[in-house]
Structure 1
Amino acid sequence: MGIFNSIFGKGGNESKTDFPWNELNSIEQLDTIAAQSSSETVAIFKHSTSCGISAMVKRSFENESNAESGVKLYYLDLLANRPISNAVAEKFMVVHQSPQLIVLKNGEVVAEASHGAINDVILEQFA
């Protein structure tokens, strides 16, 4: 179990306590996030807490991304909030993926990536 947990995590719920996640837990927040993206870049990280690959990508993102990038980071737990995930896909016209990173500026998607490609997104270039 030790090597399995070091690769996939213990249930996928771990996160760095100092990583500046803002929880996305209501559909109403989407309008706020879209408006907020007019004054600052916003990113939504969609994560399946039961998926080992999603946990690995999330952990890698937290370890490799600059928490001080100037991008406001929102975290969406897909299992607890599937209707919100569907609303994200509809509002921002992206195909649902898990894990997925969606970067917004001026209410528009300026970058979108899923799975391993998430770690190729350099947030600072959008700030």
Structure 2
Amino acid sequence: MKEIKSMEEWEHVRDQSKKEPVFLMKHSTTCPISAAGYRVFEQYETDFPKYFLIVQRSRRLSNEVESELGIQHESPQLFLLKDGEAVWNESHYGISQSNIKSAVEANG
């Protein structure tokens, strides 16, 4: 997993999703629900690249992701990006091994 912190890195992630599906997680370091979702995401084994951003450190970037994807901000929030767009997203306790697996199977 790699943390993204800049608009340039976000653009790289979106460009990469045009070649292969990628995951992006919005994570809050002060929220226990986000910590639980982060652990689930971190432990999920996949060949898809995995990225995350920390909302407190990258508020502007988090807002840009919300704007560009057209999906209201949640925290935690997990996206599966393909062709530069979110083809799946889930938040809070919806971030589970089984939901991630279903997203991978539907979009792999």
Same fold (TM over 0.5): yes
Consecutive unaligned residues of structure 2, counting only runs of 5 or more, are none
- Percent identity between matched residues is 36
Q: Which has the higher contact order (CA 8 A, sep 6+)?
A: 2
Aligned partner of residue 65 in structure 2, secondary structure: helix
Q: Distance in 2 between matches of 1:99 and 1:85?
A: 11
Q: Distance in 2 between matches of 1:107 and 1:96?
A: 18
Instruction: Provide TM-score, normalisation by structure 1.
Output: 0.76
What are the Cα deviations for residues 76-108 of structure 1, in whole angstroms up to 9, with x where unaligned?
111111111000001111110000001100111
* Deviation at residue 53 of structure 1 after TM alignment: 1.2
Contact kept, 8 Å, 2:24 with 2:78, in 1: the verdict is yes
Instruction: Provide TM-score, normalisation by structure 2.
Output: 0.88
Consecutive unaligned residues of structure 1, counting only runs of 5 or more, are 1-20
Which structure shows the higher helix fraction? Answer: 2
User: What amino acid sits opposite 1:117 in the alignment?
Assistant: G
* Deviation at residue 47 of structure 1 after TM alignment: 0.5
Aligned to 2:70: 93
Structure 1 residues 1-127: aligned runs within 5 Å: 21-63=1-43, 65-66=44-45, 69-119=46-96, 120-122=99-101, 124-125=104-105, 126-127=107-108
Structure 1 stretches of 4+ with a deviation exceeding 2 A read 60-63
User: What amino acid sits opposite 2:55 in the alignment?
Assistant: L
User: What amino acid sits opposite 1:89 in the alignment?
Assistant: E
RMSD: 1.3
